[in-house]
Amino acid sequence: MSAAASDRQRHLRALQLPVVAAAEQLVGCTISHGRASGVIVETEAYHESEPACHAFVGRTARTWPLFAAPGIAYVYRSYGIHALLNVVAEPADVGAAVLIRALEPLTGEDLMRARRGRDRTTDLCSGPGKLTQALGIGLQLNATSLLDGPIRLGPPPAGRPLPRIVAGGRIGITRAVELPWRFCAAGSRHVSRPWPPNLLAA
DNA sequence: CATGGGATTGACT
DNA sequence: GTCAATCCCATGC
């Protein structure tokens, strides 16, 4: 298969993988909602086997979408304020998902600015709460399909080289912090916390 | 039924 | 660097 053909399948192949590999493979793919879209530049993996994952406590009124089929959206409220978007991964009945932590704006940047009340491009989607606000994604889209919409997970933009990936510890959690399950596009200025330059070499 | 704690962000010192 | 906003939900009495 050509490299371009492989890219067009990347988001679909990722959904068939274990959640940590899926998180890595989804960097470079796209998320769109209506006219607004962006390239995924930062993800984190969560799995029911570790305590930082909401699914660790099992199936509840909050966590049931995590156990749905891969490609379903898990959208939940964080800190009483923000909506955070996850791509459910692994086979049905296994609780696992990829948190989308940052996007590089691709289309609809004017809409994003209006929704965010910010001008700088790097302030629009550089965080899990920011990107849902920029794309107009709320809790009402919890458990909807990312393959059928309204939110869509798509392949990398045509003609764009896939980014080199850097891995590290997940952000903003207190348990299982040692797992290197955060993945970023190397050198991207659109991630939530840019990598320290001294650690970027390798 | 009361309580505590977030997979965050933005404003401020 | 610190801190408040804000609310759902999981947990425990």
Which residues in chain A come in under a pLDDT of 50?
198, 201-202
* Per-residue pLDDT reduced to its tens digit, A150-164: 999 999 999 999 999
* Encoded amino acid at A140, one letter: Q
Output the distance from A52 CA to C6 C1' rounded to whole Å: 22
A55 contact to strand B (CB, 7 A limit): yes
| pTM for the full predicted model | 0.94
What pLDDT shows up at residue A19? 98
Output the distance from A186 CA to B3 C1' rounded to whole Å: 42
Output the distance from A28 CA to B8 C1' rounded to whole Å: 23
CA distance A59 to A82: 22
CA distance A113 to A43: 22
CA distance A124 to A1: 36
A46 contact to strand B (CB, 7 A limit): yes
